[in-house]
Structure 1
């Protein structure tokens, strides 16, 4: 077994971990959401928690998938075309991650957090 084979196995294993994180996160989130429905809790709050949990699982899974792509591309075949393809993949996944983060947080990354604003506003009065 040579270096390229080992890196391929490591990259594939990290990819599998990313997929597993997304699948497990989706299953756990769905089970929690269904339990909240069965307990007749507030649907809107339960749905919001469900979406946030699913979004976080997708974000973490995307990080693993990007790591697997980087390992395979840089360690196995660092040609200009493979690095270019990796750059496009990373750009698309970064855009997805950014979009999901904005959706989950409900604000742009450069905006102050709402909990900071309320505590700062209360302390300065």
Structure 2
């Protein structure tokens, strides 16, 4: 995957999601926080999680019942949306999340494919 947005992205060996997150946050100059999405809210998301950018930082909410590789893959997919700056109609913070609900994030098929490719690429690099 030869993409200028991925140049300089450090993938730790062995893969550690928190270390990857911190490296990426330093590289981008924006804090990136991961949060557990409560089970009752998981059913409201169309994508099994959500990325919420704010003016100062980024937040990714992941279903609390995901573990190990499944959690890494879903988290990386949302990091992919963030890296590729996939904005949707309602992608501007917590107030809109509360006003419109988690289902307001509706990525195009192309955006989803790009984010999935990002996740697959990072995991492939981590396992090489």
- TM-score greater than 0.5 by the shorter chain: no
User: Which structure has the highest strand share of the two?
Assistant: 2
TM-score when normalising by structure 1: 0.25
**Which has the greater radius of gyration?**
1
Higher helix content, 1 or 2: 1
Normalised by the length of structure 2, the TM-score is: 0.24
Structure with greater contact order relative to length (CA < 8 Å, sep ≥ 6): 1
